[in-house]
Amino acid sequence: METDKPFQSAVLQLPGWFQAMAEKLPPEEQKQISEIRLWANQPIVWMKRGRCFFCSDRRLTDYPTGKERVLTKQELMDCFYSICHDSVHTVQQELCQGFVSLPGGHRAGICGTAVHHQGEQTGLRDISSINLRIARSIPGCAQELYQKLFSGGRALNGLLIAGAPASGKTTVLRDLVRILCSGKETRCHIVAVVDEREELSGGHDLGITSHVLRKIPKERAIQQALRTLAPEYIVCDEIGTKEEAQLLSQGLNAGTGFIGTIHAGSWQELLRRPSFRALLEQQALDAVVLLSDRSQPGKIDRIIKLQEVQRNDACCGLCPDFSVGDDDRMEQTGKNGAEAQRVGGVSAFSAIYSGGTLPDALQQ
């Protein structure tokens, strides 16, 4: 069986001795690994399906046996320098944010002690751990999403893909861009891809008509796209601030829709995000996709479609003075929860997918 290409691409960023060790893992195991976590004087941890695994005798177990490879402090530093391509100063700006972007869309999270100068962080020293996240494309994972929300000439003003860390948000977003820009399903759409950390592009297929803005801070990239590219959609991974959300919603006034991702492991978590609430207040969203947990990356758990209903003074219960409590939940009716009503007053939403199959739920 062939070795897994994304796994091999990620491991190539590490020293040769680590590559030789990783290649001994069976290909079927390589395909399931999403992260490689490294510490000094601790066993290597291989993450798959959101769980920790340890390697001994070329097989993975979910518990340490005492036979695992333990990295020395020097070996951890060798891995760090290899990730930085032996030129730490060239990635210093990213290191100050705790990561290094790598070829292939992979990313290494770096932990250590911050170095400060005149009150500002200027670097990172005493590296203590590394988390190498493996980027994987799954062609077709956004196909049903596209067919139900975009096909037939339909256009969305705003779409958010929400999920917990490692739930596959970037993977689904990347595939949706590929479909929109490939011209294979319908006409090609002009899409501006804001790729601050090079996780969306990074050697992946984004179709024909995608404009990619790499390593530009989100707010500046969004403004640049609106001024110079005239896109139909702006795509942005990890909408994290209220300011980013407001910029995206401003694009709607110029006829530009947006598609983004946001960290939220549940509907309740999503309601607490200031960026999400800002988009609601601007009436900038048409639909929200909630993904399953990290054990099933890229799997859709629910699609929530925002109905065009009256927005009263209470803003459907989602104004800034609204707080989420035990009663802020959605009651579902019907076999697949097709008509979901908010107990606390989110009458502006209907969940059109919860359990069941995506095509069946979306037809309800």
- State pLDDT tens for residues 96-116: 999 999 999 999 999 999 999
Cα–Cα distances (Å) from 77 to 7, 107, 129, 323, in that order, read 21, 17, 9, 45
Please provide residue 265's backbone torsions phi and psi, each rounded to the nearest 5 degrees.
-85, -5
Local structure of 16: helix, strand or coil: helix
Cα–Cα distances (Å) from 112 to 70, 102, 107, 123, in that order, read 19, 19, 16, 10
- Residue-wise pLDDT tens digits, 234-265: 999 988 888 888 888 888 888 899 999 999 98
Q: Which tokens in the block code for residue 243? A: 């300011």
- Residue-wise pLDDT tens digits, 267-320: 889 989 999 988 888 888 999 999 988 878 888 888 888 753 333 333 444 433
Q: Which tokens in the block code for residue 358? A: 């995506």
Q: How many Å separate Cα 315 from the centre of its chain?
A: 28
User: Residue 328: left if φ>0, alpha if ψ -120 to 50, beta else—which one?
Assistant: beta
- Work out the angle at residue 130's Cα, subtended by the Cα atoms of residues 94 and 294, and round it to the nearest 5 degrees: 95
Q: What is the DSSP letter of 254?
A: G
Q: Which tokens in the block code for residue 65? A: 């046996």
pTM of the model: 0.77
Which alpha helices (H) appear in the chain, and where do they start and end?
5-11, 16-22, 27-30, 73-83, 92-95, 143-149, 169-182, 218-228, 242-251, 267-272, 274-281, 358-362
Query: Does residue 115 contact residue 124 with C-beta atoms inside 8 Å?
Result: yes
The 3-state DSSP composition of the chain as helix, strand, coil percent (nearest 5) reads 30, 30, 40
pLDDT at 85 over 50: yes
CA-atom Rg of the chain in angstroms = 22
d(C-alpha 175, C-alpha 155), whole Å: 17
- Work out the angle at residue 296's Cα, subtended by the Cα atoms of residues 295 and 302, and round it to the nearest 5 degrees: 120
Q: Which tokens in the block code for residue 149? A: 């929300």
pLDDT at 50: 86
Q: How confident is the model at residue 331 (pLDDT cuts 50, 70, 90)?
A: very low
What is the overall mean pLDDT for the chain?
82
